[in-house]
Chain A
Amino acid sequence: SQQGEEDPQALSIQEGENATMNCSYKTSINNLQWYRQNSGRGLVHLILIRSNEREKHSGRLRVTLDTSKKSSSLLITASRAADTASYFCALQPSGGSYIPTFGRGTSLIVHP
């Protein structure tokens, strides 16, 4: 399968805590992207990490990629209630088409 598997499926934390979600995959990739989906809305692109990168930051987001373990993690620091959403990893497999494949997502609830 060229689909990423997010873990955990659901995560519930208090405001101010950090949230970590993971994406594991089985194929070689060109890059991996993370998207967010608020309830009842479309997905929104958060960040892209290339296969030759190990870590990227964007505001309160930190993404790591370990190609030897075929896994990525998304860390949201100092979570806010507004971070409540589902988070998806999207793989761009090596040698494949330009179209990424999406995982099933992690549902994050941040309690105020």
Chain B
Amino acid sequence: DAGITQSPRHKVTETGTPVTLRCHQTENHRYMYWYRQDPGHGLRLIHYSYGVKDTDKGEVSDGYSVSRSKTEDFLLTLESATSSQTSVYFCAISDGAGGYEDTQYFGPGTRLTVL
């Protein structure tokens, strides 16, 4: 999986609790992304980062925050988890050198269940 790890791989939590998912890369790529994947919706972008401390929102950012204090780590936080955030979360990276032809490399995913 192109030097990308996600932790945890599985998590079950209760509504209202905070949750942090971690994405770690060893490729030194500039761009990092968080997606969620749900049946019938495909892959939807939550947040992305274009450098250390540089982040921006995607199409489904409500209820999520991110942080990137080091090139290799991109954290996704659910401040107060809700059942609608039950999903599979994927981290992806790209080096940005390709511009519009950039290829994304995906991590193995984290399955989150909010009860």
CA gap between A98 and B99 in the complex, in Å: 6
Give me the interface of B with A, judged by CB distance under 8 Å: 1, 4, 31, 33, 35, 40-45, 48, 58, 90, 92, 96, 99-109
| Residue of A whose beta carbon sits closest to that of B48 | A99
Residue pair B42, A41 in contact (C-beta under 8 Å): no
Q: Which residues of A have CB within 8 Å of B45?
A: 99, 101
Kindly identify, within residues 81 to 105 of chain A, every residue whose CB is under 8 Å from any CB belonging to chain B. 88, 90, 92, 98-105
Chain A residues with Cβ under 8 A from B108's Cβ? 41-42
In the complex, the chain A residue whose C-beta lies closest to that of B33 is A99
The verdict on A13 contacting chain B, using a C-beta distance below 8 Å, is no
A40 CB-CB contact with B under 8 Å: yes
Most chain-A Cβ atoms within 10 A of its Cβ — which of B42, B45, B105?
B42
- Indicate whether A45 sits within 8 Å of B33 (C-beta atoms), given known contacts A98-B99, A99-B48, A105-B42: no
Beta-carbon nearest neighbor of A4 in chain B: B42
Is residue A24 within 8 Å, beta carbon to beta carbon, of the partner chain?
no
A residues neighboring B (CB under 8 Å): 3, 30-31, 33, 40-45, 48, 50, 88, 90, 92, 98-105
Q: Is the CB of A88 within 8 A of B43?
A: yes
Can you offer 15 A-B residue contacts whose CB atoms are under 8 A? A3-B42, A30-B100, A30-B101, A42-B4, A42-B106, A43-B92, A88-B42, A90-B104, A92-B100, A92-B101, A98-B96, A98-B99, A99-B48, A100-B104, A103-B42
Contact partner, A42, options B41, B58, B103, B107, Cβ 8 Å: B107
Residues of B within 8 A of A92 (CB): 100-101
A59 and B103 CA atoms in complex are apart in Å by 19
When the two chains form their complex, are residues B99 and A102 in contact, meaning their CB atoms are under 8 A apart? no
Q: A92–B106 Cα gap in the complex (Å)? A: 17
Minimum C-beta distance from A38 to chain B (A): 11
CB proximity of B115 to chain A, nearest CB, Å: 22
Inside 8 A of A50's CB, which chain B residues have their CB?
A: 101
Shortest Cβ distance from residue B10 to the other chain A in the assembled complex, whole angstroms: 11
Let me know if A42 and B100 touch, CB within 8 A: no
Whether A45 touches B105, Cβ cut-off 8 Å, given contacts A31-B100, A98-B100, is yes
